Structure 1
Amino acid sequence: MISDINGESASPLNDERLPSLLALRCFEAAARQENFSRAATELHLTHGAVSRAVRLLEDELGVALFERRSRRVFLTDAGRTLARAVAEGMDLMRQAVSELRASQQRQWVLSCEPTLLMRWLIPRWSDFQARHPDIDVHLVAGGGPFSFASGIDLAIRRSDFPLPGSYHAETLFAEKVGPVCRTDKAASWFNVKQRNAALRIDAPRLHTRTRPGAWQEWAAAVGYPPVDRAGQTFDHFYFSLQAAVAGLGVAIGPWHLVRDDVESGVLSAPSGFVEDGSHYCLLSPKPLVPGSPQAELLAWLKLQA
């Protein structure tokens, strides 16, 4: 008779082997997203590779981790149990790696939404470099959902998509928006003699595919009826703002993206700006340590806002 403590190493009672790290990573991403395709995109793998890794993990453990229904997947009770444990383990590993990297003099990566990066952050970046010449930051453009596992250390994002519960968010500033146009066109497109300088009905409107609801969100914020969709549409927010600078029409301009042009007189905002209910955050995998380079960056960003 073999006891539980002194049993043979091959006994199932003593099988403490872990599944492959790749399989666990695929499972963790699929569990968090509850979608194999989004998990594959996050991990830079194919849908088939993620699906096979999860299936092999299920075969190895002898339990179903997902319930598959009509092209959708849902965690089983066993899947939720494993997902919590794997997520905690991954977080511990990321934290240890982050601390080791932070202890070394190195370059770290800040991802920022493209238009905010071009029109607000980069024009002010020399001030940060002058204040903190010992902090080496690599700026990259990126928008929407992302993973810190992809090499990003910090990210600046607008609150227009759900964040994973493990992410730490520090609010930088509220989003304020308003219609803007080239200054010499303001009298033609706004009733500038009125107190609220209302936009004229026939003013040409500029739209963007990356924020298609910008005009409607502004109208709702100021209590106007829905805005007609007529007008030119551009592929990116930055292009619609440049079109406004060029005198092609009126664009919805977030204050932080147009403040330099408004303050210099290039653009005019006769109706002013109003908060639309969203805000920008600095995102990190865990709360920032006071006095750390990341905390210094946060303080500087809030100063600029």
Structure 2
Amino acid sequence: MISEVDGDFESLKYESRMPSLLALRCFESAGRFENFARAADELHLTPGAISRAVRLLEEDLGVDLFERRKRRVFLTDAGRRLLKAVSEGLGVMNHAVREIRSEARRTRRLVLSCEPTLLMRWLIPRWGDFQAQHRGPDIHLVAGGGLFSFEQGIDLAIRRDDFPRPPGYHAERLFAEKVGPVCRPDKVGQWFDERGKCLRATAPLLQTTSRPTAWQEWAAATGQPVPATQMQSFEHFYFSIQAAVAGLGVAMGPWHLVRDDIQSGVLVAPSGFVEDGSHYCLLSPIPPKLGSLETDLLEWLRAVGC
């Protein structure tokens, strides 16, 4: 026989039991958008999974959280109350997690992801200077381009701002991207006009599959036409620049990638360089704090990028 006290205790345990965090996370996203499909995209789930999670949550609470009308959903009064509470709770947890991760980074080495050719041709040759100035926690350099996630063990990333980044990622502008045609000095007379400024129609052009519109962007920025010739294509700028060094043609050279070769005389840029409208940025999960290693790195990158 169950006593009245036992019954009250079981009732109290039921009332205080929290729904699963996954269900609440699915509900929060669906409630914020009032759209199950958009919530599914944000959480990398299927709309069906979002719908099932919300339905189970509604059954658990014994109340409808959404009003479903003609393939659209709208929060009920109960749904709006719960959304406010869950959003605030997730916000508090997210803030705490970021603070803890930030504190942990101070005692371990940071992981900096950088676009491969920029890493090889610009950052690594200058990295010894940064290490000499900052003999504290180490920074581990890794090559990577395009989309990434700070959930993959990356603390900071250097990227061009030519792709959409997830909301919430903090970006600090480093320097503008400047581009120009480059070739070996002994090929200028053959591939450029008498003034050494405009490309001849017979000049062999080199392009990269990672940025196939680089020549067109340069042409739009300078008002100069691109010779109507078939281009030899390489996978990355590193290879097309090396092909230019080998005398195979004229490559579109981003300034920071060819800077050392220009200064050493291995390559020349007869037409000079022009900003193409894009910028390199240092991306981080939160804004760098004053006096932190991240801030020191940001200031150093801007200084050497000028």
Partner of 2:98: 95
- Partner SS for 2:202: coil
Q: Distance in 2 between matches of 1:76 and 1:242?
A: 58
C-alpha distance after superposition, 1:39-89 (max 9, x if no partner): 65xxxxxx7xx667545422322357999x9xxxx997679x589658635
The answer to which structure has the higher helix fraction is: 2
Q: Distance in 1 between matches of 2:27 and 2:154?
A: 19
Partner of 1:251: 251
Shift of 1:118: 0.7
- Contact 1:19–1:57, Cα closer than 8 Å, also in 2: no
Partner of 1:17: 18
- Contact 1:180–1:244, Cα closer than 8 Å, also in 2: yes
Partner of 1:264: 264
Partner of 1:58: 54
Which one of the candidate residues 155, 158, 182 is aligned to 2:157? 155
- Contact 1:205–1:250, Cα closer than 8 Å, also in 2: yes
Worse-matched range after superposition: 50-59 or 236-245? 50-59
Q: Does 1:241 align with 2:237?
A: no
Q: How does 1:196-207 map to 2 (within 5 A)?
A: 197-207=197-207
- Partner SS for 1:281: strand
Partner of 2:135: 133
Q: How does 1:55-94 map to 2 (within 5 A)?
A: 55-62=51-58, 88-89=91-92, 91-94=94-97
One-letter amino acid of the structure 1 residue matched with residue 266 of structure 2: V
| CA spacing shift, 1:7–1:127, aligned 2, 3 Å | same
| CA spacing shift, 1:233–1:149, aligned 2, 3 Å | same
- Partner SS for 2:140: strand
Q: Distance in 2 between matches of 1:75 and 1:132?
A: 54
- Partner SS for 1:224: coil
Greater C-alpha Rg? 2
Worse-matched range after superposition: 126-135 or 264-273? 126-135
One-letter amino acid of the structure 2 residue matched with residue 17 of structure 1: M
C-alpha distance after superposition, 1:260-304 (max 9, x if no partner): 001001111000000000000111111111111111111111111
One-letter amino acid of the structure 2 residue matched with residue 198 of structure 1: C
Partner of 2:231: 231
Q: How does 1:122-201 map to 2 (within 5 A)?
A: 122-191=124-193, 193-194=194-195, 197-201=197-201
Q: Which runs of 5+ in 2 are unaligned?
A: 1-8, 59-64
C-alpha distance after superposition, 1:69-125 (max 9, x if no partner): 9xxxx997679x589658635631431222330342x11100111111111101111
- Contact 2:26–2:39, Cα closer than 8 Å, also in 1: no
How large is the Cα RMSD of the aligned pairs?
3.6
- Partner SS for 1:294: helix
- Contact 2:113–2:143, Cα closer than 8 Å, also in 1: yes
TM-score normalised per structure 1: 0.79
- Contact 1:174–1:279, Cα closer than 8 Å, also in 2: yes
- Contact 1:27–1:53, Cα closer than 8 Å, also in 2: no
| CA spacing shift, 1:154–1:231, aligned 2, 3 Å | same
- Contact 2:19–2:57, Cα closer than 8 Å, also in 1: no
Shift of 1:168: 1.3
- Partner SS for 1:243: helix
C-alpha distance after superposition, 1:149-170 (max 9, x if no partner): 2211111010001223311111
- Contact 1:58–1:65, Cα closer than 8 Å, also in 2: no
Q: Percent identity?
A: 51
C-alpha distance after superposition, 1:240-263 (max 9, x if no partner): 111111111111110001000010
Q: Distance in 1 between matches of 2:67 and 2:163?
A: 27
Q: Distance in 2 between matches of 1:239 and 1:8?
A: 70
Shift of 1:224: 2.4
Q: Distance in 1 between matches of 2:218 and 2:254?
A: 10
- Contact 1:219–1:227, Cα closer than 8 Å, also in 2: no
